[in-house]
Structure 1
Amino acid sequence: MTHPVAEDAGPITLTALTAPDGAVIVTLVGDLDITSAPAARERLLSLVRPGACRLVIDMSAVRHTDASGLAVLVSTKRRAVLLGGELRLAALRPEVARVLTVTGLSRHLAAYPTVQAAVAGRKPGGHTALPGTGPAVLAARALPAQAQAEPGADSGELHSAVAALLANADAWRDADPRRRFSPALRALAQADAGTSHAALVQAARSLLSVLDREPLTYSPIVAATASRLRRLFSAGARPAIG
Structure 2
Amino acid sequence: MLHNFTTMKKLLFVSILSFVLLAATDPYSIKRISDKDFRYEFYTTDKKVSVKHNKEYFWFKGGLIHKAEGGVAGQVLDGDFKKYYHSNQLAEQGTLKKGLKVGLWKTWFENGATKSTQEYSSGLKQGKFFSYNVEGKMLEKGYYKSGKKHGYWINFVKQDTTRYKNGVIFIKKPKLTKEEKAALKEQKQKDRELEKLEKEKQKEAKAKEKELKKNAKTDPKNKTEKEPFYKRIFKKKDKK
TM-score interval for Structure 1 and Structure 2 normalised by the shorter chain: under 0.3
Higher RCO (C-alpha 8 Å, min separation 6) = 1
Larger gyration radius, structure 1 or structure 2: 2
TM-score (normalised: structure 2):
0.24
**Quick check: which one's helix share is greater?**
1
TM-score (normalised: structure 1):
0.23
